[in-house]
Amino acid sequence: MKKFAIAAATATALTLTLANAAFAQQPSQAPLTVAAGEVTKVKEATSDTWITTKVKADLVTEKGIPGTDIKVETNKGVVSLSSDVTLTDSQKEMAVAIAKKIKGVQAVSADGLKTN
């Protein structure tokens, strides 16, 4: 039991020493500035994830579109649609229209959708 206590104390001491060294080497930035930047990134990521999920759900539930075969990616509100399956021109137009009506979508790129 005594060996365990010594090992635990040693591990704690090493951890604290390494943590102090890590914090000492970081550039001095105002914590609120760093936090604000991180919050913005999280909001963008959450918004993009929400948009992707909503577009995908709407494509899957739309009759006449192979929604499960259409890949959806979103980056800063720009939705990219692609597929390995060939779609008709009207299916492509419908997929683009569905994506455009989602709140937060800035633009839609359907260059990756294969058509006849």
Token pair, residue 60, equals: 């899957």
Q: In the prediction, which pLDDT does 33 show?
A: 58
The pTM (predicted TM-score) of the whole model is 0.63
DSSP structure string for 62-94: STTS-GGGEEEEEETTEEEEEEEEEE-HHHHHH
Which residue segment(s) compose the domain that 103 sits in? Answer: 2-115
**Could you give the number of structural domains in the chain?**
1
What confidence tier does 116 reach under pLDDT thresholds 50, 70, 90? Answer: confident
Digit-coded pLDDT (tens) for 51-74: 999 999 999 999 999 999 999 999
Q: In the prediction, which pLDDT does 101 show?
A: 96
CATH code for position 57: 1.10.287
Whose CA is closest to 104, among 32, 50, 64?
50
Q: In the prediction, which pLDDT does 90 show?
A: 95
Residue 7 has pLDDT above 60, yes or no: no
* Beta carbons within 10 angstroms of residue 70's beta carbon: 25
Digit-coded pLDDT (tens) for 15-57: 545 455 555 555 555 555 556 666 666 666 669 999 999 999 9
Which region among 33-47, 73-87, 92-106 has the lowest average model confidence (pLDDT)? 33-47
Q: Report d(CA 113, CA 115) in Å as an integer.
A: 6
